[in-house]
Chains A and B, each alone.
Chain A
Amino acid sequence: MTTITYPLSRIEGHARVVIDVYDNEVFRADFQAMEMRGFSHYVRGVPAEQITVIVPRICGVCSTAHQVASVKALEDVFDITPPPLANDIREVLLLGQLIQNQATSLFIFTMPDRTNASSLFELSQSEAGKAREFSLAQMALKIRKIGTDLISLAGGQFIHPIKTVIGGVSSGIKREKADQMILTIQELLPVATELVDIYWEMSMEMGDRIGSWGDDEPTHYLASTEANNYRLNSQRLRVMQPDGTEAPSFDPHDFEAYLQIAESEYSYAGVSSYMGQILRANSLARINLTESLGTPRADAYLRRFVQTFGKPAHAIMFFDLCRGIELVYALEKAQQMLECDLEHGETEVGYAPKDGTGFGLVEAPRGPLIHRYEVENGLIKTADFVIPTVHNMLAIRRALMVAAKRYVGPEGINAELERAVGRVVRAFDPCIACATK
């Protein structure tokens, strides 16, 4: 038996793909997390009210989602509801996170795969990159930075936000700051759509070249955005079945009745399933579960996507295209929200800490994220983090199996397999720091 190991780059954290081949037949394809962050252990015994400062450090890529989920979980324990203005500011914060994350995944992680470059910077310097009148790399980083700036504006710090507090947010967003941000978005939105178009075009060419979009069987899809309201500061989890019909939605408090999470023997990340079935979260899941995004440009992209690929769409590389749609949506939506008054009005409510168990849900860039805390004597007794990347683990393995079978045959192992493995894993944009909580 031959075991091929591919270390992975251009994803968050340390992971590898291991494929076992015997007599030119693939026996196993596994995606393994090689480190353990272990936050669910570190936070045990920590004063509950401090956990909101500690948990953003689970992951520097999606720290914002963790912070908001954490605050919502404690609000659930303390039995309080933040005022509407606070929810809007949290939404702006989560939109900033979505912009930053989708721009990173699109341009830094996956665009190089479109031309077999080793990085965005190499791509930018290549013939394909130089053909543009601007530097792809610099423009991509500029778009990404809008996300970072929104996180600073609505979150108070650029990586590990601090403004979301138990009971609301610590302050509103000043008109002049909002106006500056609107100007930046207006100026850069056309650049963003151009980059998304370039990305789309490069993806179509890549699809033609390799003769596949990463076809795989349909699965269940999991998201917490609504069909006509893409609110990331979400309330309920929704499931689409493989045939495109929707299963009953559920509350985060009941997640254990629907999602089964287990440890893996050969990986520091666990795996989850939906009633024993493979499921997928992240951009494609949300887009499959969406009727309309509610912003003009993003809806135009959504129509184009559905017309070209159908609904629900299942191929692996569609995750990447859906991130482009979401990038445009998040920019447009952030602008819309900043045009409203986010400065005046009640931003937080007081609270009295108490013991109990609470759940906090947000739609993180990679899918629904739940924090569950059990508080006893004011301290965290147990903490559980239900991580989107973990929901995708079985789907990643199966997609890798499909890719491996495609490139392993009677003639042996095709060198394209290494690239295919990278493309498949990056389409799911896994986050190892989160997945090994």
Chain B
Amino acid sequence: METSKDLPKFAVLQLSGCSGCEVSLLNSDEWISNFQLVYMPLVVTSNKIPDDVEVLLVTGGVRTDEDIHNLRKGRSRTKKLIAVGTCALSGGVAQFKGNHIARESFLKASHRLRMPDMLPNAYPIDRFVDVDLYLPGCPPTPQLFMTALKDPENAKIAAIVCQECGRQKLNDMRPTSITGPRSGVVLPDICLVNQGYICVGTSTRGGCGALCTRPGHACVGCRGPANPYLNKEPKFVLDNLRRVFARMTDIPAEEIDAVLESPWLSLFLGQFTDYTQEADLPLRTKEKML
């Protein structure tokens, strides 16, 4: 039997996040026989990333000066670096995104003696290092992790969540008001938009297997906007969603707008687009997106 010492080495560097990405990776045991995990503080005690790592997965956003240091060091020790999860791609839920009450409150509380300094916001990792591949998701599914590790070049990722959802879009079922989150029974097999739910699967990149929508929960867009909206201002993906709801429902446009701009959706809808506001950053091309 091949011992793990001969297998390609991979490492996981966790910056500021919730460990959800790591927990997802641990839901797959397939990598145990294909890779050698050499660094991942959550599960392995080892003080540093070795020099000859094949793939480094980076989770979490950049939140402290120590994160910047570890990220740069990690970059220098790996052939390939993959940014994993919403936090690494955008800073995630820790970004303030114009919420000044939150910013003020956080900055007042965020200093301790002889501790890493908290930066004024949470940043995407490609603000500091080059990224070879992006794996969005909050968190990405274990299957997506395996694809990223094994053969991302040949992966076939569904363009949008609807392609994997299996629910049917009907012409003659036009809701006039928003269903949920306050109440609502979900009918099987019928598109959630027809049922009045604010599902953003039509504009969200696939690959997750429509994890949420198949059992009946509206997609919140955690995989981020689909390829046509990459590197575009937030307006483009929002306009597309507005068009979908106008075509399929009679829900007043203001009500749709209010939901689309709410924090829980904008967290994910904006995860690529917020970033275009920083002009000096490299473009994230669709070839680099998994």
Q: List chain A positions with a Cβ less than 8 A from chain B.
A: 7-14, 32, 34-39, 41-47, 49-50, 53-54, 57-61, 63, 100, 104, 108-109, 112, 118-122, 125, 135, 137-138, 141-142, 144-145, 148, 156-160, 162-163, 165-167, 170-171, 264-268, 348, 350-351, 422, 433
Within 8 A of A (CB), among B250-290: 262-264, 267
Q: Give 11 pairs: A residue, B residue, CB < 8 Å, sorted on A.
A: A32-B115, A34-B64, A42-B102, A44-B99, A45-B102, A57-B93, A60-B21, A60-B24, A119-B43, A121-B32, A170-B216
The interface stretch among B125-133, B164-172, B178-186, B223-231 is B178-186
- Cβ-closest chain A residue relative to B18: A60
By a CB distance below 8 angstroms, the chain A residues around B20 are 57, 59-61, 63, 159-160
Q: Is B27 an interface residue (CB 8 A)?
A: yes
Give residues of chain B (88-141) contacting chain A, Cβ–Cβ below 8 Å.
Answer: 92-94, 96, 99, 101-102, 105-106, 109-110, 112-116, 118, 138-139, 141
On chain B, the residues within 8 Å of A348 by CB distance are 183
- Specify which chain A residues have a CB less than 8 angstroms from the CB of B114 in the assembled complex: 266
**A125 in contact with B3 given A60-B22, A112-B45 (CB within 8 Å):** yes
Q: Tell me the nearest residue of chain A to B66, going by C-beta.
A: A34
The answer to whether A54 and B217 touch across the interface, beta carbons within 8 angstroms, is no
Question: Would you give the 0/1 interface string for B15-31, flagging 1 where the beta carbon is closer than 8 Å to chain A?
Answer: 01111111110110100
CB-CB under 8 A for A13 and B19, given A41-B102, A167-B183: yes
Q: Which of B30-75 contact A (CB under 8 A)?
A: 32, 37, 41-47, 63-64, 66
Complex CA–CA separation, A57 to B87 (angstroms): 10
**Cross-chain contact of A44 among B4, B26, B37, B101 (Cβ < 8 A):** B101
Does chain A have a CB within 8 A of B81? no
Q: Chain A's nearest CB lies how many Å from the CB of B69?
A: 13
Instruction: State whether A108 and B4 are in contact (beta carbons under 8 Å apart), knowing that A35-B116, A60-B21 are contacts in the complex.
Output: no
Q: Are A433 and B18 in contact (CB under 8 A)?
A: yes
- A158 to B144 alpha-carbon distance, docked (Å): 14
- Alpha-carbon separation in the docked complex, A12 to B45 (Å): 13
Asked if residues B115 and A121 are in contact (CB atoms below 8 Å), the reply is no
CA distance A419 to B139 in the complex (A): 32
Q: Is the CB of A42 within 8 A of B41?
A: no
**Residue in B26, B42, B115, B181 whose beta carbon sits within 8 Å of that of A141 in the complex:** B26
| Contact of B44 with A57 in the complex, beta carbons under 8 Å | no
CB distance from B241 to the nearest CB of A (A): 17
Q: Is A9's CB under 8 angstroms from B46's CB?
A: yes
User: Chain B contacts of A9 at CB under 8 A?
Assistant: 41-42, 44-46
A8, A34, A166, A265: which contacts B116 (Cβ < 8 A)?
Answer: A34
19 extra interchain contacts, Cβ-Cβ under 8 A, other than A54-B93, A138-B32, A170-B184?
A: A10-B42, A34-B115, A42-B93, A47-B262, A54-B263, A58-B18, A60-B21, A100-B23, A121-B4, A121-B44, A144-B26, A148-B27, A157-B217, A158-B211, A159-B23, A166-B182, A264-B112, A267-B112, A348-B183
Name which of A41, A122, A141, A351 has the most chain B CB atoms within 10 A of its CB.
A41
Q: How far is the CA of A109 from the CA of B182 in the complex (A)?
A: 39
Docked-complex contact A268 and B115, CB < 8 angstroms: yes
- B139–A118 touching, CB < 8 Å: no
The 7 closest A-B pairs by CB, nearest first: A60-B20, A41-B106, A119-B44, A60-B18, A141-B29, A9-B41, A41-B105
Give Cα A138–Cα B22 distance, bound, in whole angstroms: 17
CB nearest neighbor in A for B185: A171
B8 contacts chain A at the CB level, 8 A cutoff: no
Contact A35 B262 (CB under 8 A): no
The smallest C-beta distance from A285 to any residue of chain B, in angstroms, reads: 23
| Complex: chain B residue closest to A103, CB-CB | B26
Query: Are A422 and B92 closer than 8 Å at their CB atoms?
Result: no
| Most B Cβ at <10 Å: residue of A43, A60, A137, A166 | A60
Contacts of A43 in B (CB 8 A): 102
Given A41-B106, A58-B18, A119-B37, are A160 and B181 neighbors across the interface (CB < 8 Å)? no
Q: Are A46 and B263 in contact (CB under 8 A)?
A: yes
Q: Which residues of A contact B4 (CB under 8 A)?
A: 121, 125
Contact present for B27 and A145 (CB under 8 Å): yes
Residue B43 contacts which of A32, A36, A120 (CB distance < 8 angstroms)? A120
Please name all residues of chain A whose beta carbon is closer than 8 Å to the beta carbon of B64 when the two chains form the complex.
34-35
> Is B47's CB under 8 angstroms from A7's CB?
yes
Given that A63-B20, A160-B138 are contacting pairs, would A118 and B46 also be in contact in the complex, using a CB cutoff of 8 Å?
yes
User: In the complex, what distance in Å separates the CA atom of A108 from the CA atom of B25?
Assistant: 13
Give the shortest distance, in Å, between A120 (CB) and chain B (any CB): 7
B16 touches A265 (CB 8 A): no
A118→B45 contact, CB < 8 A = yes
Residue B212 is within 8 A (CB to CB) of chain A in the complex: yes
Cβ 8 A contact of B139, one of A13, A108, A135, A159: A159
Q: Which residues of B contact A32 (CB under 8 A)?
A: 115
CB pair B43 A49 closer than 8 Å: no
With a cutoff of 8 Å between Cβ atoms, the chain B residues found around residue A157 in the complex are: 211-212, 217
Minimal beta-carbon separation of A201 from chain B (angstroms): 22
User: Which residues from chain B contact A112 at a C-beta distance below 8 Å?
Assistant: 45
| CB–CB B211/A266 < 8 A | no
| Chain A CB within 8 A of B238 CB | no
Contact (Cβ within 8 A) A351 B182: yes
Q: Which of A162, A265, A350 contacts B217 (CB 8 A)?
A: A162
Residues in A neighbouring B183, C-beta threshold 8 A = 167, 348, 350
Residue of A nearest to B44 (CB): A119
Q: Separation in Å of the A137 CB from the closest CB of chain B?
A: 6
List, in ascending order, chain A residues with CB within 8 A of B180's CB: 165, 170
Name the CB-closest residue of A to B211.
A157
A122 to B175, CA, bound (A): 56
| Given A59-B19, A162-B217, residue A38 in contact with residue B26 (CB < 8 A) | no
Bound complex: CA A258 to CA B29 (Å): 44
Please measure, in the bound complex, the distance between the C-alpha atom of A60 and the C-alpha atom of B46, giving whole angstroms.
22
Question: What is the CA–CA distance of A57 and B16 in the complex, to the nearest angstrom?
Answer: 12
List chain A residues, Cβ under 8 A from B216.
156, 170-171
Is B66 within 8 A of A159, CB to CB?
no
Given that A12-B42, A60-B21, A61-B23 are contacting pairs, would A171 and B115 also be in contact in the complex, using a CB cutoff of 8 Å?
A: no
Query: How far does the Cβ of A307 sit from chain B's closest Cβ, in whole Å?
Result: 34
**CB <8 Å contact, A42 and B262:** no
Q: What is the chain B residue whose CB lies nearest that of A168? A: B183
Given A50-B262, A157-B217: A10 and B19 interface contact (C-beta under 8 Å): no
B160 within 8 A of A: no
C-alpha gap A165/B18 in the complex (Å): 22
CB–CB A10/B45 < 8 A: yes
The CA of A104 and the CA of B20, in the complex, are separated in Å by 13
Say how far A431's CB is from chain B's closest CB, in angstroms: 8
